[in-house]
A and B are shown apart, each in its own frame.
Chain A
């Protein structure tokens, strides 16, 4: 059976499930950032947070005609920014590793006030 549905046959899901998904992703990301000691893990958490936000943007773009274009463009922006941010952050992590032979964020305390 081909996975093809007529439009009318699709179940009426609404905005809420998307927002719940976005919030879930966001919370997962935050928890990931707060608990992981590995810097790479923290970066992953960041990606999750960003994607949670992205889901929200896209959902709003789909359901709110006023944001149709803006939501999509913002999500594209976020993707591009995430890529850039990942590149920079990975560079920082690599440097950190070179200097400290570890990627444990708890050891990175030089910026303490």
Chain B
């Protein structure tokens, strides 16, 4: 691939950025293989275990940093392309009627060029059935660009941080204090290189997921991401808790992936393609049909899912007719390429063609419930990956991995994959699916936040807060706050990465102590960590002008707008609102317990120290992003606006109108949409929601300060704990989810397994053993038969031959003359016999 190709298709920069970590992974894998071969010889010669080398860290970090630079360069190109496009559209609007058509042509041509520059795909596999192909491809829009920048930047910082944090692994022999063997603690080789090997693969998988332009490629990356998280959670696999947590994460994700596969099957069966754009073009009505400019007809239900019903005419012909909004058992699948005659008015007949459907040019149908199942299936995959209720149980356990991994996988990127995918495939979701998403998010955010209130492990608090924040994003997406949800995804990624790395710095400084009940008063010892973490806490709490404030406000406003239009779903606003307060409370609780007050454990406090610059510098950079990413996106400019560019039109079709006069409203045939007022409400209630939320947050801060800052003076947490023992136990046991799953899933599974084992041991083994025994018995009889009868027969024959031969020996006298005598006599005898027979024959 030459450089000019990169110039013509700058989307390839992102492909290159994706492949860089893969290159690093392959290189490190080869190196490790080589090392595994030569290590025994090295050790033989040196007599001692070899120190792990440091260079894998530089390779991996270099790869991801270079990927970041590539993304940055390409993103400038991308944004300038889109500015040009916007200018062209603006020119169409302002042009006098005479020039309008020419300008329109120009704008269309430019749009097509841009499309070509930032999209591409290659055939990967041709399937024999119906000439379908699986493709690998890339699709770059505003969302992918921002995700790319976010992932590569955070990953780079985490790589740098890990060089410091994983320093222990550079020793030839590491002693794991948490694993006890017969002779003391476990001693094992350092695994510095392995950590970066996994990180590289993880980065590749995540970037490939964002890059992909089709479901199948996403699914591959999806599974790779799951694999990497399994490997990294189980990094200290000698610890039983770590290996169990890795299994739990993997198995829980399997449940979600089963749904994902189901969704993929439905999509491929009905849509005939995996490509995002082609699928969405089929399920959502186009805005206008493909007539020439002056005759162009806008379609009534542009951007919507058009439902239809079968009717039988008087002649007995079955026709598919478009039904009223919200009714009809079939969904019309539109041709992927624009056609001359669109459908969209109730009662109109869908021009179905007989025979096999070509998705590019033919109309088709899919049963409505099937589309619901496909949406829910894919959402189930996202539930697993983004740790939503009821599959949220794996994420807190996943804190067994090294802390940078927690930051990378369980805050910024992997769990983001689920939210990202929900955003990406939004056009596929039916109203039922969207409501499920909203409620799942609502339940998750509340449940997780309440659990976080009582956790004492610093990483567990953050883990539950991650689950809770992901719930916010899902809720936002479910109630039509597409921009708000993904906006929160980006801001959250920065401040959660910051918080995790900060907690890692605390843990590192306190010599791997994670319990907050043994910390306290650490502020003077680690000022940089404390202050940067405070920035993260303020951001997640939603203090004005921190990035979290903007995104959380957007979500709350969206939820309020939705609830105002659908009063029966009031919980969808009350839960996030209450949780905003709870979030603030537990985050401040964590900060106060760690950094202020009297040291609770003198030993830990005395040995505590600030982390090296390799770890604090990423913290500082992330703190800056946590504060400013919302309003100072890449050096001033609202991040929300950028995300807004990527919003699929389906969101507006489903959730209502646009501000009159905005550029989207112009692009929207029919202008402002009526009857779906959530979006307007969101605008109207933005201030109200903001004020209420900020008020709750401030109250929570005061409350938290009273309880945990000036400890033991106003309110004693221990006393509160004693006053509500049931509630406390309920929360500390995480709403008994693990116990519940253990009772309804694990234990029955074990019982079934026991039964199966019994069946196996008694019945199957019994049959096998019986057969075996019968075989032995039979062969014993067979042996006797063989030895006595067969051998006997053979021996008797042989003996008979032998004795006969012995007797006949005498005939061989060796005397020539006697032979001749015999010969003559025999000849005479033959002659006599022959004569006898011949005479008889002649006579007869």
Contact = CB atoms under 8 A, between A and B. Distances in A.
A105 B812 CA distance: 15
Interface stretch (A8-16, A33-41, A60-68): A33-41
B814 A33 contact: no
B816 interface: yes
B810 A106 contact: no
Interface stretch (B43-51, B113-121, B788-796, B817-825): B817-825
Interface residues of A, number: 16
A30 B824 contact: yes
Nearest to B816: A105
A42 interface: yes
Contact of B812 (A30, A37, A42, A111): A111
A111 B816 CA distance: 10
Interface residues of B, number: 14
A112 B820 contact: no
A45 B817 CA distance: 12
Contacts of B815: 105-106, 109, 112
B812 A112 contact: yes
B809 interface: yes
Interface string B797-821: 0000000000011111111110011
A113 B817 contact: no
A33 B809 contact: no
A112 B813 contact: yes
A113 B814 contact: yes
Contacts of A112: 812-815
A108 B820 CA distance: 14
A113 B824 contact: no
A34 B812 contact: no
Nearest to B827: A30
A34 B824 contact: yes
Nearest to B809: A113
Nearest to B812: A113
A34 B810 CA distance: 19
Find the residue from B808, B813, B824 having the highest chain A CB count within 10 A.
B824
Contacts of A30: 820, 823-824
Contacts of B808: 113
A108 B816 contact: yes
B820 A33 contact: yes
Contacts of A106: 815-817
A34 B809 CA distance: 21
Interface string B810-844: 11111111001101100000000000000000000
Nearest to A31: B824
Contacts of A33: 817, 820
Contacts of B811: 113
B580 to A, nearest CB: 118
A9 B135 CA distance: 115
Contacts of B820: 30, 33-34, 42, 45
B817 A34 contact: yes
Given A30-B824, A34-B821, A34-B824, A113 B810 contact: yes
A110 B820 CA distance: 17
Interface string B775-792: 000000000000000000
Nearest to B810: A113
Interface string A82-113: 00000000000000000000000110111111
Contacts of B824: 30, 34
Nearest to A45: B820
Contacts of A36: 817
Contacts of A111: 812, 814
A45 B821 CA distance: 13
A9 B812 CA distance: 55
A44 to B, nearest CB: 13
B814 A109 contact: yes
A112 B809 CA distance: 8
A34 B815 CA distance: 10
A105 B815 CA distance: 7
A42 B816 CA distance: 9
B315 to A, nearest CB: 98
B810 A37 contact: no
A33 B815 CA distance: 12
A93 B817 CA distance: 15
Contacts of A42: 816-817, 820
A33 B820 CA distance: 7
Contacts of B812: 111-113
A30 B815 CA distance: 15
A37 B813 contact: no
A111 B824 CA distance: 20
Nearest to B811: A113
B554 to A, nearest CB: 117
Contacts of A35: 817
B814 A110 contact: yes
A111 B811 CA distance: 12
A37 B817 CA distance: 8
A106 B816 CA distance: 7
Nearest to A27: B824
Contacts of A45: 820
A45 B810 CA distance: 26
B657 to A, nearest CB: 122
A110 to B, nearest CB: 7
A113 B817 CA distance: 15
Nearest to A42: B816
A112 B815 CA distance: 7
A12 to B, nearest CB: 25
Nearest to A110: B814
A45 B816 CA distance: 13
B808 to A, nearest CB: 8
A36 B821 CA distance: 12
B478 to A, nearest CB: 108
B814 A105 contact: no
Interface in A1-57: 30, 33-37, 42, 45
Nearest to A106: B815
Nearest to A39: B816
Contacts of B810: 113
Contacts of B809: 113
Find the residue from B808, B812, B814 having the highest chain A CB count within 10 A.
B814
B817 A105 contact: yes
Contacts of B823: 30
Nearest to A32: B820
Contacts of B816: 42, 105-106, 108
A55 to B, nearest CB: 17
6 contacts: A33-B817, A34-B820, A34-B821, A42-B817, A110-B814, A113-B813
Give 10 nearest A-B pairs by CB, closest first. Answer: A113-B812, A112-B814, A109-B814, A113-B809, A105-B816, A33-B820, A30-B824, A34-B820, A111-B814, A34-B821
Interface of B: 808-817, 820-821, 823-824
Given A33-B817, A113-B808, 18 more contacts: A30-B820, A30-B823, A33-B820, A34-B820, A34-B824, A35-B817, A36-B817, A42-B820, A105-B815, A105-B817, A108-B816, A111-B814, A112-B814, A112-B815, A113-B810, A113-B811, A113-B812, A113-B813
